[in-house]
């Protein structure tokens, strides 16, 4: 499958990208970046660092620095000032492209046969909303959108019912949800089921590949004191890796057809008119094994 990854790396974004870049069944055409977990300059540099470590030359196109008409909020408390938890990555081998994210997405979508390119969205949906506005003909050629975001029955992580990627830019999410795209959303209800403990990190390190060892270091950085205490040494949820994992192993997820809309004040998801497939559960043991095997391969 051919994919464009839209991302704000981000510790868990980095793990998702490394998995996708190494998967033989996934061709990553481009990374498009945006400000989210940290500012745009940092996420763009991180995207370049990640593709350099993976050794898979992939263009990086900078996108939106801030949400549509709102103040940007960052998540440096979780991801660190550098967005990658202080884990050592090489400097980017290539400079970011001069072509902005939306233009690159439109060009790639127009050049490929219709409904052959998927979007993997690991951050707020700002770039996708801007694509819909600037190039609706190109957006209509997207085969499928898989996005990490939202909280359905689970409590949110940016308020009682709001999750970061949606709450950071609810206006963008609302536009994307109502655009009649084929969307699969992976909310906290599913992603909180995929965590890693210290023993799993050892199995990653034992593979000896640079990507797997980097992911072990990233997950290590993702442990926090409070999570250690609350979760008996399990890491924070591996939110974004669920996106390429669902693309490659959909049978390991339990999906439901829902009808949703975005509550613009808070970014919570309510029942509404937009049909969206939602992942509500997953087989964590099997997915951890697939993730490790992918990073080791």
Q: Which residues are catalytic?
A: 239
Residues 50/14, Cβ–Cβ less than 8 Å: yes
Sign of CA dihedral 167, 172, 176, 177: positive
User: What minimum distance in Å lies between the beta carbon of 231 and Ca ion?
Assistant: 20
Binding mask 11-30 for Ca ion (x = CB under 5 A): --x-----------------
User: What minimum distance in Å lies between the beta carbon of 156 and ligand BDR?
Assistant: 9
Nearer to ligand BDR, 106 or 127 (CB): 127
Residues in the chain: 297
**Applying CB under 5 A, what is the total number of residues that bind Ca ion?**
5
Distance, CA of 226 to CA of 68 (rounded, Å): 33
Cβ-proximal residues to 15 (8 Å cutoff; 6+ apart), any chain: 215, 218, 219, 238, 240, 241, 291
Binding mask 229-268 for Ca ion (x = CB under 5 A): -----------x----------------------------
- Alpha-carbon separation of residue 13 from 63, 81, 113, 137 (angstroms): 16, 15, 28, 28
Nearer to ligand BDR, 164 or 200 (CB): 164
**Applying CB under 6 A, what is the total number of residues that bind ligand BDR?**
15
Near ligand BDR in 137-166, by CB under 6 A? 148, 157, 163-165
Nearer to ligand BDR, 192 or 277 (CB): 192
Strands (E), the chain: 2-7, 27-33, 60-62, 117-121, 142-148, 183-186, 253-262, 269-271, 274-282
- 12 lies in the binding site for ligand BDR (CB under 6 A): yes
Q: Which residues bind ligand BDR (CB under 6 A)?
A: 10, 12-13, 37, 75, 78, 122-123, 148, 157, 163-165, 239-240
């Amino acid at each position: 499958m051919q994919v464009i990854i839209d991302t704000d790396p981000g510790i868990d974004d980095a793990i998702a990208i490394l998995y996708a870049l190494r998967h033989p069944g996934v061709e990553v055409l481009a990374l498009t970046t945006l400000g989210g977990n940290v500012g745009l300059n940092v996420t763009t540099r991180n995207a370049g660092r990640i593709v350099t470590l993976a050794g898979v030359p992939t263009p990086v196109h900078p996108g939106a620095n801030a949400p549509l008409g709102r103040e940007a909020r960052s998540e440096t408390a979780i991801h660190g000032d550098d967005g990658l938890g202080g884990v050592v990555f090489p400097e980017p081998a290539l400079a970011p492209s001069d072509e902005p994210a939306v233009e690159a997405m439109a060009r790639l979508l127009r050049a490929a046969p219709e409904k052959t390119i998927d979007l993997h969205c690991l951050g707020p949906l700002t770039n996708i909303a801007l694509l819909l506005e600037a190039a609706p003909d190109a957006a209509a050629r997207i085969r499928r959108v898989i996005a990490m975001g939202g909280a359905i029955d689970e409590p949110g992580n940016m308020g009682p019912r709001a999750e970061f990627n949606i709450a950071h830019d609810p206006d963008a999410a609302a536009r994307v949800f109502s655009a009649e795209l084929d969307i699969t959303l992976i909310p906290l209800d599913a992603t909180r089921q995929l965590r890693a403990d210290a023993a799993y990190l050892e199995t990653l390190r034992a593979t000896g590949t640079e990507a797997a060892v980097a992911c072990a270091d990233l997950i290590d950085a993702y442990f926090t004191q409070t999570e250690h205490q609350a979760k008996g040494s399990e890491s924070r949820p591996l939110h974004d890796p669920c996106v390429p994992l669902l693309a490659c192993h959909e049978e390991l997820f339990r999906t439901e057809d829902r009808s949703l809309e975005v509550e613009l004040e808070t970014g919570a998801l309510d029942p509404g008119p937009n049909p969206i497939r939602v992942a509500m559960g997953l087989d964590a043991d099997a997915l951890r094994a697939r993730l490790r095997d992918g990073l080791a391969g």
